[in-house]
Structure 1
Amino acid sequence: MTARKTTATPPAAAVAVDAHWAATRARLQALTRPVLKLTICDDEDAKRAATTARYVEQQAKNAAELDPEDQAAQAAHQAAAAALADAQAALDAVSIPLRFQALDRKTYKALLAAHPPTEEQAEEGYDFNLDTLGPVLIAASSLDGITEEDAQTYLDTWATAEATKLLDTAFGVQRAERMDLGKG
């Protein structure tokens, strides 16, 4: 899924007030929807090795920064950085990354409306039926081709924490913010 792009000409009044408006508008129209990645790895040894390598590299970096003239500290940092790169590559090789992209607002709202809460869920304050919406949202927002059937299988068979994380990622990307209401 890609973001819709339009090529309308900016209003002349806006361009007259702000000469940069056309460029700003073009950048806004070129924005893509947010993407979140969920990485799954069941190789505890690879995760532990990467964590240890990250710690060793940080310690070596700190030592190297304390004394930039210390050649041994600099060499130790370089060796630790190389070991971290190797450990990260090994972790990446055994990991499964899943990517999810936010749906456009109308599609997301339509999905929510198509999955109204049960009476019990409504009483608990839910605006939608998580049981029916979950697999549909996971499939709709997946950039990796997860089907509704795949999603339902994962939600039914994975450990509760892992299934919850999968759901949280599919819902979380819908609420991802890339804005900052900075000082004017």
Structure 2
Amino acid sequence: MTTTRKTPSTPQPAAAVDSDAHWAAKRERLLARARPKLRLTICDDPDVKQAVSVAQYNEKQARLLADRAPDDAAAQATLRAAETELADAQAALDAASIVLSFQALDRKTYRALLAAHRPTDEQADEGYDFNVDTLGPIMIAASSLDGITEEDATTFLDTWSDSEAQALLNTAFRVQREERMDLGKG
């Protein structure tokens, strides 16, 4: 005689997950995540940039003195003046700067662009996975949050200095690879 064992009915994994309120909340947060963004700040005025560097240094020095002597009115006044100097210098830098913002493309779009712009034989020999000459302006335009067109991107890449053009290209590509995850310990 054979006996049949009845196993207790357990919910299927998908159903169990769907009914888990903790997972539902986590899932909503995951679905609501925005893709990474990066900014490229351009300032053509070296004096304004230097003023910020000097003001940062002065503020750090004043803070060290003020922290060592919290009851010293002169040290505290020097710190307040240095903080004001830094805020003013930063405001001048912000006013003189052009900020370009970029956002990562969704994975499918990014992969499709890479596939559509295969490297030349020479580029492949140099280790490139894509044709930077054809994909560069497209990637800049596609990831720009400021409305940079492919034509604009091509103009910038052709007319800016090599290091500035590389900074523009690197920002558009780096945002695609920006990681905001931590594997944790263990």
TM over 0.5: yes
Query: Secondary structure at 1:108's aligned position in 2?
Result: helix
Kindly state the Cα deviation for residue 12 of structure 1 after the two structures are TM-superposed.
4.5
- Taking the aligned partners of 1:22 and 1:100, their CA distance within structure 2 comes to 30
- Which residue identity does 2:160 align to in structure 1? W
1:57 aligned residue: 59
Q: Which amino acid aligns with 1:161?
A: S
Q: Provide the C-alpha distance between the structure 1 equivalents of 2:66 and 2:45, rounded to a whole number of angstroms.
A: 32
Task: Verify: 1:40 aligned to 2:42, yes or no.
Answer: yes
What per-residue deviation string (whole Å, max 9, x for no partner) do you get for residues 127-175 of structure 1?
2111000000000000001100110011111111100111110010000
Q: Which runs of 5 or more structure 1 residues have no equivalent in the other structure? A: 1-10
Task: Using structure 2 for the length normalisation, give the TM-score.
Answer: 0.88
d(CA) in 1 for partners of 2:74, 2:22 = 51
Could you tell me how far 1:14 is from its partner in structure 2? 2.4
Compute the displacement of 1:68 (Å). Answer: 1.6
Counterparts in 2 of 1:59 and 1:15: CA distance versus 1, 3 Å:
farther
**Which residue is equivalent to 1:13?**
16
Gaps of 5+ in 2: 1-13
Which structure has the greater CA radius of gyration?
Answer: 2
Q: Secondary structure at the match of 1:162?
A: helix
1:72 partner letter: A
Partner of 1:88: 90
* Offset of residue 63 of structure 1: 1.2
Q: For residues 1-184 of structure 1, what are the structure 2 equivalents within 5 Å?
A: 12-14=15-17, 19-183=21-185
The whole-number CA distance in structure 1 between the counterparts of 2:39 and 2:47 is: 22
The number of residue pairs the alignment matches comes to 173
Q: Provide the rounded CA distance (Å) in 1 between the counterparts of 2:38 and 2:159.
A: 23
Indicate the SS of the match to 1:20: helix
Aligned amino acid, residue 74 of structure 2 = A
